[in-house]
Amino acid sequence: MKAMAQRTWDPAEVLELVELPTPEPGRGEVRVRVQAIGVNPVDWKMRTSGPLRLAARLIGPKPPVVVGVDFAGVVEAVGPGVTRAAQGDRVVGGTNFARGQRGSYADTVLVREDQLCRVPDAVDIAVAAALPVSGVTAWMAVVDLGRIRQVPPADRRVLVLGASGGVGQLAVQIAKLEGAFVAGVCSTKNVEMVKGLGVDLVLDYNQGDALEQAQPHAPFHVVVDCVGSYSGASCRALLSSRGRHIMVAGDEPSAAVQMLVPPFKSKTILGRPTGARLEPLVAAVAAGDLEVAIAQKLPLTSAEDAHRLSRTGRLTGKLILEP
């Protein structure tokens, strides 16, 4: 099998195409021929810092280091005991370093069957590959941690900071599917795109402080921060009494500190994809209720270019790598 990998964990290393032994699936494992890979900021962040880097270094496979989480493709082989996947199935999933697995920047991945979700023929494989980290994080932010279903529809008011990004665009749409009033914050260049997601209100951060613009539309039951540079105190000031400030972005220690600020309305999130968490997302895409804007498709061998683009923080939608 081929993968884009760096030889060591040295942050100065570049990703290069390497040949690795094709893994044989063990009990409960599934080998997937990868057709599309979703790029997430964590893919390049973990090359230099962060908790996932630490976890992968401690308990992940030995170098060469294959980064990446999201993948979609076709089941190539299944191990003994596998009941939920069969050869030829179209599937989507996320790799997991905590299970000793290599990342997804490869033409082949080996995962356990509970990490996979079937992809109906109607769903484009590149769109499926855009869902794992972004979609699961957006769902958890709005539904699980944001607890949108615990309030009556009239109180479902959601503010998404960074509505044009990979996570933000899905958070907006998931909140709309939950019947919420949704306000989305973006720059002038993305106003039309964010309107197209179905928001009720667009707040353009180039026209002045976005949180001040949001003030007349408060209180919000959920403020989803996909940017990380907004003041936690100002976000919490926009919340209803039972509302929550969900910090999708903000990897610095300050995010952990925010959680300790009474009345404990700020929560961080780890959007780890599983087959079960992907199911409602894939179903919503198949039903035409959820769309994913693809910013660009690049060959897997251009992974370094993809990381350069993602690092700008200016993407509108998802980057997809194709092996």
CA 89, CA 203: separation in Å to the nearest integer?
42
CB of 167 to ligand NAP, least distance (A): 4
Site for ligand NAP in 286-315 (CB under 6 A): 310, 313-315
Q: State the DSSP code for 257.
A: H
Candidate residues 25, 103, 132, 166; the one interacting with ligand NAP per rule CB under 6 A: 166
CA 59, CA 36: separation in Å to the nearest integer?
26
Please state whether beta strands 266-268 and 201-204 pair in parallel, antiparallel, or not at all (unpaired): unpaired
Residue span binding ligand NAP (CB under 6 A) among the ranges 9-17, 56-64, 92-100, 166-174: 166-174
Site string for ligand NAP, 246-275 (x = CB under 6 A): --xx-------------------xxx----
State which amino acid sits at residue 234.
Answer: S
Nearer residue to ligand NAP within complex by CB, 25 or 317: 317
CB of 114 to ligand NAP, least distance (A): 19
Is the preceding omega at residue 152 within 30 degrees of 0, hence cis?
Answer: no
CB of 309 to ligand NAP, least distance (A): 9
Distances, alpha carbon 260 to alpha carbons 11, 13, 235, 267, 275, in Å = 32, 37, 15, 9, 32
Contact between 40 and ligand NAP by CB under 6 A: the answer reads: yes
Nearer residue to ligand NAP within complex by CB, 99 or 272: 272
Residues 6 or more apart from 84 whose CB is under 8 A from it? 113, 114, 116, 275
The total of other beta-carbon atoms located within 10 Å of residue 313's CB is: 13
Contact between 41 and ligand NAP by CB under 6 A: the answer reads: yes
Backbone angles phi, psi at 275, to 5 degrees: -60, -45
CB 101 within 8 A of CB 122: no
CB of 70 to ligand NAP, least distance (A): 10
CA 272, CA 136: separation in Å to the nearest integer?
7
Nearer residue to ligand NAP within complex by CB, 180 or 319: 319
Site for ligand NAP in 176-235 (CB under 6 A): 185-187, 189-190, 205, 226-229
Nearer residue to ligand NAP within complex by CB, 40 or 302: 40
CB 221 within 8 A of CB 240: yes
How many residues sit in the footprint of ligand NAP (CB under 6 A)?
A: 34
Residue span binding ligand NAP (CB under 6 A) among the ranges 109-117, 120-128, 164-172, 281-289: 164-172
Nearer residue to ligand NAP within complex by CB, 82 or 130: 130
- Nearest position to ligand NAP, beta carbon: 165
CB of 174 to ligand NAP, least distance (A): 13
CA 36, CA 56: separation in Å to the nearest integer?
22
Nearer residue to ligand NAP within complex by CB, 22 or 229: 229
State which amino acid sits at residue 131.
Answer: L
DSSP 165-184: SHHHHHHHHHHHHTT-EEEE
Using CB under 6 A as the criterion, which residues of the chain lie in contact with ligand NAP when the complex forms? 40-42, 45, 133-134, 137, 161-162, 164-168, 185-187, 189-190, 205, 226-229, 248-249, 269-271, 310, 313-316
